[in-house]
Amino acid sequence: MRYIALTDIHGELHKLENVLSKIDTRPDDVFVFMGDYIDRGPDSRGVVDRIIAQSNTNKCIYLIGSHEYALLHSDEDYYRYLFDNYGGPATVRSYGSFENIFRVHGEFFKSLKFYYQTDKYLFVHAGINPDYPLDEQQEEDLVYIRGKFIYSKHQLPQKIIFGHTEFDKPYIDEDKICIDLGCGKYPHAHLCALILNEDGSEEFIYSDNL
């Protein structure tokens, strides 16, 4: 069984389709989508439809990202500001109205998990606060944390696979891997999929420069 991780798609359906077309998918592959499906790019609705459709052929795990978190908390002024100023208007255009986001995919967004844990890996959108055990993490850290997590060692036995903080190429450390390359934020940024093979090897699959 392989794990295939993707994150920070940000409405770029064409890049998602391009990456998926390069993966020779097997029936026992498990896809882990790690959040930030929406905002910035032109087709947030199409991205959500596409990742949901992947569950027709494979087991899929869907995690929450910082942008979905802001959407779900948009009744609070701070998070509504984040939604309105960090790509949310593109999501509204994609769905036709703000209210339609929840009519079409509200149940999906509300079902998103904060992390997914296996014997070897912990998948999470942004990371963890290294000062606390996993069961004491704050929701905001799981979707928003950056430097404190990235540049220090954590105490979990698993390797952490994450996104949220963009790099020019995958950030690879002995205890963590980040695969956010800025898709949706920069026009020519690639979307990256990480295939975690049964033997422990890792493959990175990149979208073309579309």
- Domains detected in the chain: 3-116+163-206 (3.60.21.10)
- Across the beta sheet with 176-178, the strand order is 115-117, 121-124, 159-162, 176-178, 171-173
pLDDT in tens, 46-101: 999 999 999 999 999 999 999 999 999 999 999 999 999 999 999 999 999 999 99
71-99 burial: b if 16+ Cβ within 10 Å, else e: bbebeeeebeebbeeebbebbbebbeeee
Helix (H) or strand (E) segment spanning residue 175: none
pTM over 0.75: yes
CA 190/CA 27 separation, integer angstroms:
26
Q: How many Cβ atoms are within 10 Å of 197's Cβ, its own excluded?
A: 11
State the chain's mean pLDDT as an integer.
97
CA 6/CA 17 separation, integer angstroms:
12
> If you average pLDDT over residues 157-183, what whole number do you get?
98
